[in-house]
């Protein structure tokens, strides 16, 4: 038996960040991981998907090369090299986490973990079938992440051939001629973008009345308009029935917008959410309490119902986002080391969707502000009036800021457009430090930049916009 101060189950963004910070603080730390390090984000989510989106964006821009005086020969699009590049980027990032483990003297235990009764002991079954037992002197941290799920209730059980998960499409050898994407959240919109760029006829459906249902209605409408302009069919408020899954295709009936359609497609991508990995690792047997939705119950210090056992990341609920899990890992490590970190501010975690145009947001949507009965003002500035956006030919979208009418505090901010996921952080910092729109205005924004649109939206919320 080996003993460590901290044993972490899972090497994703929550687990590996927690491990590295624990080691930096002098705690002997080990991570149990059955797959490569990096978790879903590095292996099957954030990183490979964004690599594909970069390829898709390049493919889209090549179509406009003539506008820049660049004459190309015949351009052919092949999904296979893009997919292989995506996998290579993923593997490189995973190796990077391994390097950081060695640098910080974190022990990697390769295998599948089971939490023993009492919570401080973990059994690890290695890849070669051997069993090891390890003990945690201070804490066991559950960071087992989440997994894709199908829609068996709608007749769409994942089968890796015609009904695919977001994991499955990352290893497709070629782009299909037709694809139905079920679920118009971040994952569904991102893969709709990718496959459309590589010539697939994409139909995007969601039961919600708008795509990107967690975003502000204006943002959702802007992306839907951009998608339709590119030939992506968007069906919201949709209901599916008569699903028939064949060997080479899927047929079904879709009702949306008062019309009924019969669809037959080569592939269906189910992008309708994820489930926490709490049905493995012996959590229930060890007495770890779960919520009705299957997440681990934790208090404000990530403590579970079992003393000395903690949970962070997707398994602990709240936003299922890599950066949220990473921050939880960082904070928990400092708590375990006896420090007094700032708690995680779940009201100020940015949402980012990397389709084109990109979408990013922080804080309240306008609908939420209305539901709370807040007195607010809206400032909005279109990228079509921004000089830098015009020079790059990327004028879709806007910056929208909601400010408190009395004090000017930033209640929420929403960006749709090129590089929105980078630009949002000015407003994340502003909200975290309780800056007002007046203080955003006081910061001189360089010209010409896309970020000038943030300053202009702040001005508009005060009735002082200059350039539109």
Could you give the residue numbers annotated as active site? 447
Where does residue 372 rank: exposed (0-12), middle (13-18), buried (19+ CB within 10 A)?
A: exposed
Work out the number of other CB atoms within 10 angstroms of the CB of residue 306.
20
C-beta separation of 423 from 432 below 8 A: no
Scanning the structure block, which residue is given the tokens 């007195």?
375
Residue 306's alpha-carbon distances to 18, 26, 34, 137, 333, in angstroms, are 19, 24, 24, 14, 18
Contacts of 315 (CB under 8 A, 6+ apart): 142, 143, 144, 145, 146, 276, 277, 278, 295, 296
How far, in Å, CA of 246 to CA of 193, rounded? 25
Beta bridge partners of 239: 255
* Residue recorded with tokens 């100020």: 348
Q: Give CA separation, 16 vs 23, 41, 101, 137, 313, in Å.
A: 11, 12, 8, 19, 11
Q: Which two tokens stand for residue 422?
A: 């980078």
Q: Which residue has the tokens 């090299």?
A: 81
Q: Phi and psi for 108 in degrees, rounded to 5?
A: -100, 125
The DSSP symbol for 355 reads S
């Amino acid at each position: 038996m080996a003993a460590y101060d901290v044993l972490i189950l899972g090497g994703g963004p929550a687990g590996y960040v927690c491990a590295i910070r624990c080691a930096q603080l002098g705690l002997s730390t080990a991570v149990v991981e059955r797959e490569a390090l990096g978790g879903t984000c590095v292996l099957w989510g954030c990183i490979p998907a964004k690599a594909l989106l970069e390829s898709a964006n390049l493919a889209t821009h090549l179509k406009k090369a003539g506008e820049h005086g660049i004459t190309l020969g015949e351009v052919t699009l092949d999904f296979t090299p893009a997919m292989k590049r995506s996998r290579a980027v993923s593997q490189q990032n995973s190796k990077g986490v391994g390097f950081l483990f060695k640098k910080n003297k974190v022990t990697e235990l390769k295998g599948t973990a089971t939490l023993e009764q009492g919570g401080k002991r973990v059994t690890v079954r290695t890849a070669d079938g051997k069993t090891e037992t390890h003990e945690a002197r201070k804490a066991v941290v559950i960071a087992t992440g989440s997994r894709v799920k199908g829609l068996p209730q709608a007749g769409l059980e994942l089968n890796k051939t015609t009904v695919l998960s977001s994991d499955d499409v990352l290893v497709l050898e070629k782009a299909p001629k037709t694809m139905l994407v079920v679920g118009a959240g971040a994952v569904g919109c991102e893969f709709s973008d990718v496959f459309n760029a590589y010539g697939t006829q994409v139909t995007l459906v969601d039961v919600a009345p708008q795509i990107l249902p967690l975003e502000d209605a204006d943002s959702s409408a802007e992306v839907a308009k951009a998608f339709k302009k590119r030939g992506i069919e968007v069906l919201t408020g949709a209901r599916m029935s008569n699903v028939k899954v064949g060997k080479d295709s899927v047929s079904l009936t879709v009702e949306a917008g008062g019309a009924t359609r019969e669809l037959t497609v080569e592939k269906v991508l189910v992008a309708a959410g994820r489930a926490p990995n709490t049905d493995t690792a012996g959590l229930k047997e060890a007495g770890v309490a779960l919520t009705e939705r299957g997440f681990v119950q934790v208090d404000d210090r990530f403590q579970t119902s079992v003393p000395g056992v903690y949970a962070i990341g997707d398994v602990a609920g709240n936003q299922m986002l890599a950066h949220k899990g990473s921050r939880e890992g960082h904070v928990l490590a400092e708590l375990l080391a006896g420090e007094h970190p700032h708690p995680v501010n779940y009201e100020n975690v940015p949402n980012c969707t990397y389709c084109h145009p990109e979408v990013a947001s922080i804080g309240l949507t306008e609908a939420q502000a209305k539901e709370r009965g807040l007195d607010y003002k809206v400032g909005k500035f279109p990228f079509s009036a921004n000089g830098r956006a015009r020079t790059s030919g990327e004028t879709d979208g806007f910056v929208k800021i909601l400010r408190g009418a009395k004090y000017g505090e930033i209640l929420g901010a929403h960006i749709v457009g090129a590089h929105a996921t980078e630009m949002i952080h000015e407003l994340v910092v502003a909200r975290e430090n309780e800056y007002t729109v007046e203080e955003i205005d006081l910061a001189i924004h360089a010209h010409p930049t896309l970020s000038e649109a943030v300053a202009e939206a702040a001005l508009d919320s005060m009735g002082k916009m200059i350039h539109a």
